[in-house]
Amino acid sequence: MGISTHVLDTAAGRPAAGVPVTLEVLTEADEWTMLAVVATDPDGRASDLVPDSDLVEGRYRLGFELADYFSGADIDAFFPTVRLSFVVRDRAEHYHVPLLVSPFGYTTYRGS
């Protein structure tokens, strides 16, 4: 089912389009390996970051570069980058990790 994310700007009340997103996996050598580099679409989504066939159990990390997104709105945000680590335990499941952002805070959860 893969990995996806959705970035919502809660301060502006809209999706966060154009946010650079990275996906990494932690290897057996205890090193982070890049799997995907994309930008969120106009709806704030980044879907299918890793093909189902490449999804393995283990630790993953999503990175969100927010500095340019907020500076484009002339906002000096406190959190220029957000990194979220999570565990894939069943490769048959879909892992959706939304990020809700504002200039001075963020929250996340496991979505569906």
* pLDDT single digits (tens) 57-83: 999 999 999 999 999 888 999 999 999
The full set of domains in the chain, from first to last, is 3-108 (2.60.40.180)
The dihedrals phi and psi of 80, each to the nearest 5 degrees, come to -75, -25
Mean pLDDT score, 24-36: 96
What confidence score (pLDDT) does residue 52 get? 76
pLDDT-derived band of residue 54, with 50, 70 and 90 as boundaries? confident
Predicted pLDDT of residue 3? 95
pLDDT of residue 1: 65
Task: Name which residue leads in pLDDT, 51 or 74.
Answer: 74
